């Protein structure tokens, strides 16, 4: 059995998937498997993955029966994984070639190792920096809420997210944050390691015309998802209260960022501000 499973949820990424797969198969640490999850796209992404799979037996392709979205596709990949450790790669991004080698040496008795990333926007590279040394898990401000910055023990992941697997709604936004919240909720201070190694390359396509153009129906779906998650967390009895309070505020700020970064949705800005002002905030807990 491989030591590490890399999960690639795949949907209409034919322009980028070859680079992502090559960043996996060329890892300096070879005891890995690459699980490509076919989320029923309409382009040639899976055909490209199949060509790589013919040449490298470490590549495994699994197929969803219908389009389930990134969150469910990732989880199906984890369930099919044979490795003791898992990490995630969005197929329009790519890994540093020594990522697996460095992480497998660092993980030791930890359940999660979180690493830094490089954001690439219009050819400009910006390296993320952990703002503070994380003394304990009560200092949530030092954590990245991107699932692809985590190297995780598979069994711990499955146990921590057991409740989330029951969600049958296809989420368009904030699914990363929701998963990380539940993982952090189940951790003790000595089970989490944070390292300032830039092992992941996040390619930001938000400046492209296709990414900027969202119709009202899609925007409304995103906002509905945000408020679905807010309600889910508020009513959840598993999350610790201090984490729950932080999550509720973080999500509301994320909603506002999503809203005001899009210049075409003034109608939604009015509706959202009206709705969000009804939610009681506890900012004094964190400043």
Query: Who contacts 245 (Cβ-Cβ below 8 Å, separation ≥6)?
Result: 282, 285
Give φ, ψ of 233 to 5 degrees: -70, -40
Q: How far apart are the C-alpha atoms of 198 and 149, rounded to whole Å?
A: 9
pLDDT for position 229: 83
* Cβ atoms of residues 82 and 5 within 8 Å: yes
Asked whether residue 210 carries a pLDDT value surpassing 90, the answer given is: no
* Cβ atoms of residues 60 and 33 within 8 Å: yes
The stretch 142-149 carries a mean pLDDT of 85
Q: How far apart are the C-alpha atoms of 78 and 50, rounded to whole Å?
A: 19
Mean confidence (pLDDT) of the chain:
84
pTM for this predicted structure: 0.85
What is the tens place of the pLDDT at every residue in 11-40? 999 999 999 999 999 999 999 999 999 999
E-state strands within 174-228: 192-204
> Please, which pLDDT band fits residue 209 given cuts at 50, 70 and 90?
very low
pLDDT for position 72: 92
CATH H superfamily, domain 4-208:
Spore Coat Polysaccharide Biosynthesis Protein SpsA; Chain A (3.90.550.10)
Element (H, E) at 112: strand 112-121
Produce one character per residue of 180-204: b if its CB has 16 or more CB atoms within 10 Å, e if not. bbbbbbbeeeeebbbeebbbbbbee
- What residues form DSSP beta bridges with 203? 120
What is the tens place of the pLDDT at every residue in 89-145? 999 999 999 999 999 999 999 999 999 999 998 889 999 876 654 544 555 656 778
pLDDT for position 1: 84
pLDDT for position 285: 37
Is the backbone of residue 173 left (phi > 0), alpha (psi -120 to 50) or beta?
Answer: beta
pLDDT for position 280: 46
The stretch 148-163 carries a mean pLDDT of 95
Asked whether residue 63 carries a pLDDT value surpassing 50, the answer given is: yes
pLDDT for position 287: 33
Residue extents of the structural domains in the chain: 4-208, 214-285
Element (H, E) at 270: helix 266-276
């Amino acid at each position: 059995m491989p030591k590490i499973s890399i999960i690639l949820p795949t949907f209409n990424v034919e322009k980028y998937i070859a680079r992502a797969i090559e960043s996996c198969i060329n890892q300096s640490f070879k005891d890995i498997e690459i699980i490509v999850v076919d989320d029923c796209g309409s382009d040639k992404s899976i055909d490209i993955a199949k060509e790589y799979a013919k040449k490298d037996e470490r590549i495994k392709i699994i197929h969803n029966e219908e389009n389930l979205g990134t969150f469910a596709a990732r989880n199906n990949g984890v369930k099919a994984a044979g490795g003791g450790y898992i990490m995630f790669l969005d197929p329009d991004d790519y890994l540093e070639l020594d990522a697996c080698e460095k992480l497998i040496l660092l993980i030791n008795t930890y359940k999660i190792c979180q690493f830094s990333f490089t954001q690439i926007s219009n050819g400009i590279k910006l390296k993320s920096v952990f703002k503070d040394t994380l003394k304990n898990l009560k200092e949530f401000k030092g954590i990245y809420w991107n699932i692809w910055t985590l190297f995780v023990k598979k069994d711990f992941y499955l146990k921590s997210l057991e409740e989330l697997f029951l969600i049958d709604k296809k989420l368009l936004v904030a699914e990363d944050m929701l998963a990380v919240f539940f993982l952090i909720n189940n951790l003790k201070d000595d089970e989490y390691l944070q390292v300032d190694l830039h092992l992941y390359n996040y390619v930001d396509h938000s400046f492209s015309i296709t990414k900027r153009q969202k119709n009202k129906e899609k925007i409304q779906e995103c906002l509905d998802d945000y408020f679905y998650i807010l309600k889910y967390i508020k009513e959840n009895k598993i999350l610790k209260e201090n984490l729950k309070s932080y999550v509720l505020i973080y999500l509301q700020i994320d909603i506002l960022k999503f809203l005001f970064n899009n210049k075409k949705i003034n109608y939604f800005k009015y509706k959202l501000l009206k709705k969000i002002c009804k939610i009681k905030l506890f900012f004094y807990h964190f400043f």
